[in-house]
Amino acid sequence: MHIETLKPNKQDQRALLDWYQREKRPLPWRLSADAYRIWISEVMLQQTTVAAVLPYYERFLARFPNLGSLACASEPDVFQVWAGLGYYSRARNLLKSAKLLHEGGFPQSYVQLIEYPGFGPYTARAVSSLAFGESVGVLDCNVIRVLCRHYGLNVSWWSATVRNHLQRIADAWVMG
């Protein structure tokens, strides 16, 4: 089996969607298709757990309920609300991007979002997919693990070539 040729079948796609509908947790960022709220959750969820993020997410949105309020904030204000989540470059990039997004509006595609500070491939794809319905797959360690188990792959997923192949597979899973 060559990783370059792997594709999902309709039955597997349906099974995954059915599993998600049964097992998904009720999380506050899933209650809305608001790009701002999805973006904040995705950035906060990097390198931590859902349980750890929940109180920070609620507190952050209470202080900065929308893109405009975050765009007008000072870095010390953002850091104060962010305190305890670590990786302060994420908070700094949130503020930088908020100012830019507030000026020009929230782009609806992965290729546009990835141009903003702090929007890496995963975050740009997650926001464009969840908020705007763009058919792009996301690739993080959990998705890599699922794909490798599903296809019985034992690959060097950290290699750029392999990650590119895995990204194409993830994209194929959402293309229908």
Active site residues: 42
112 token code pair: 């546009």
User: In degrees to the nearest 10, what's the CA dihedral of 100, 104, 108, 111?
Assistant: -60
Token pair, residue 153, equals: 């792959």
Report the C-alpha gap between 135 and 133 in whole angstroms: 6
Q: Could you tell me which residues come within 8 angstroms of residue 91 by beta carbon, excluding any fewer than 6 positions away?
A: 78, 79, 82, 85
> How many beta carbons lie within 10 A of that of residue 41, not counting itself?
23
Rounded to whole angstroms, the Cα distance separating 114 from 124 reads: 5
CB contact at 8 A, 175 and 138: no
Q: Are 112 and 136 in contact (CB under 8 A)?
A: no
